[in-house]
């Protein structure tokens, strides 16, 4: 087999495998009486288990305990969750429907505070519900219409991920080593991912790419999820301890950093998994490009800067008793933010579905929303 044929074969394997992972992450099965099938990511890589979710509290619990995680995937899950919540309440009148909608939306919105896709998705579903409820009231038709909207949100995310990958894949050169932090692949979205979509697309075109996956403490999304996903896709991946990033960069083993995002402020400040800020500083110090791959739905144009982004604080047990292993003395104080904010000055560019967005970010982010006509 020629080198070209070998690269093509590897690209074909990647396409099939990444598509398989995409299909596994979450999907709606059946019609309005169906259920949400969700891959429980807390069990990976040791066990692959699907949750068949038919009730709103189970969706909320899945979001809170990170059975589903990643801003785009949370948004898709919330859209389906709204359908389940309304189905449970089955309001008999238009007025009761409006009350149920507000109640279910509020419960879902409280599940996690940082990922902006959650709120964007719920607002979009509520707007669709308002439009559908404008005529003669039929709960069955409303529920069917909302399920169609949730599916469209899901399919739209798949299209956005593909476009992000195609734009970002052009930035990578064959032979490059790419460092990632946390998981921003198919497991974190409704499609093929954001940061990892860039890698998948590059590999599909025959480029040889190696990924260094930061383990991403304390919940090890890089070690558990990114490495699993990339191995499923046939992509060369090496797990590195979080505190090895500086060593990798200083020895010339990292050519590019690509991460995802949970919320991007109007000035370009980025909230992403805790530790991202440190990686960005290291990349700047070593002259390595630092890209953020995210759809327009992850931008929050009404959040002026990173100072306005709420940072979720998570349970101390994740740090001192992670995965059932005690690593700190009982009763010790713990600082466990889920995210940090990387100032815009450290970002080389944002890889979006419309292409590469470069500084000045405040002006160009505003222009992105004028062009895309997306949420505000």
Of the pLDDT bands very low, low, confident and very high (cuts 50, 70, 90), residue 9 is: very low
At 220, is the secondary structure helix, strand, or coil? coil
Domains of the chain, residue spans: 24-161, 170-372
pLDDT score recorded for residue 18: 53
> Do the bridges between strand 35-39 and strand 26-29 make them parallel or antiparallel, or are there none, so unpaired?
antiparallel
pLDDT at 213 over 90: yes
Segment 78-95 mean pLDDT:
96
Mean pLDDT on 146-175: 97
* pLDDT score for 62: 98
Query: What are the Cα distances from residue 302, in Å, to 48, 152, 218, 267, 365?
Result: 39, 25, 31, 10, 11
User: Which among 157, 214, 242, 262 is annotated as catalytic?
Assistant: 262
Residue that is written with structure tokens 């999907």 in the block: 27
Active site residue 262: yes
Q: What distances in angstroms separate CA 225 from CA 21, 30, 55, 129, 315, one per listed residue?
A: 11, 28, 26, 35, 21
User: Coil, helix or strand for 195?
Assistant: helix
- Decide if domain 170-372 falls under CATH 3.40.50.2300: no
Exposure string for 204-243, b = 16+ CB within 10 A, e = fewer: beebebbbbbbbbbbbbbbbbbbbbbbebbbbebebbebe
Question: pTM here?
Answer: 0.91
pLDDT for res 11: 38
Assign 241 to helix, strand or coil: coil
Percent of the chain with pLDDT over 70: 92
Q: What is the mean pLDDT of the chain?
A: 92
Secondary structure (3-state) at 238: strand
Architecture per CATH, domain 24-161, reads as Up-down Bundle (1.20)
Which residue shows structure tokens 């509020």?
106
Report phi then psi at 25, rounded to 5: -65, -60
Q: How many residues are there in the chain?
A: 376
């Amino acid at each position: 087999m020629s080198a070209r044929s070998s690269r093509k074969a590897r690209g074909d394997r990647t396409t099939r495998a990444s598509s398989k992972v995409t299909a596994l992450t979450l999907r709606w099965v059946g019609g309005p009486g169906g259920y949400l099938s969700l891959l429980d990511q807390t069990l990976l890589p040791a066990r692959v288990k699907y949750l068949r979710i038919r009730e709103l509290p189970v969706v909320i619990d899945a979001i809170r305990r990170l059975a589903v995680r990643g801003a785009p995937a949370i948004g898709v899950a919330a859209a389906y969750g709204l359908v389940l919540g309304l189905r449970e309440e089955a309001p008999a009148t238009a007025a009761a429907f409006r009350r149920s909608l507000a109640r279910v939306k509020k419960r879902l919105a409280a599940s996690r505070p940082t990922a902006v896709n959650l709120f964007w998705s719920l607002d979009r579903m509520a707007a669709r519900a308002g439009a559908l409820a404008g005529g003669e009231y039929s709960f069955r038709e409303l529920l069917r219409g909302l399920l169609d909207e949730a599916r469209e949100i899901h399919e739209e995310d798949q299209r956005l991920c593909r476009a992000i990958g195609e734009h970002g894949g052009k930035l990578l050169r064959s032979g490059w080593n790419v460092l990632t932090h946390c998981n921003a692949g198919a497991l974190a979205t409704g499609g093929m991912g954001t940061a990892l979509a860039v890698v998948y697309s590059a590999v599909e075109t025959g480029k040889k790419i190696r990924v260094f996956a930061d383990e991403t403490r304390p919940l090890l999304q890089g070690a558990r999820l990114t490495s699993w996903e990339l191995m499923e896709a046939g992509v060369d991946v090496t797990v590195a301890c979080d505190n090895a990033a500086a060593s990798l960069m200083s020895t010339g083993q990292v050519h590019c950093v690509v991460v995802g995002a949970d919320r991007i402020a109007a000035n370009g400040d980025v909230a992403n998994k805790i530790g991202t800020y440190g990686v960005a500083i290291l990349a700047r110090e070593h002259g390595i490009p630092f890209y953020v791959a995210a759809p327009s739905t992850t931008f929050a144009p009404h959040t002026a800067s990173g100072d306005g982004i709420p940072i979720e604080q998570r349970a101390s047990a994740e740090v001192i008793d992670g995965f059932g292993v005690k690593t700190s003395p009982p009763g010790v104080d713990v600082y466990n933010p889920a995210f940090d904010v990387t100032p815009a000055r450290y970002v080389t560019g944002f890889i979006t579905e419309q292409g590469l967005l470069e500084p000045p970010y405040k002006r160009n982010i505003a222009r992105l929303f004028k062009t895309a006509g997306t949420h505000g």
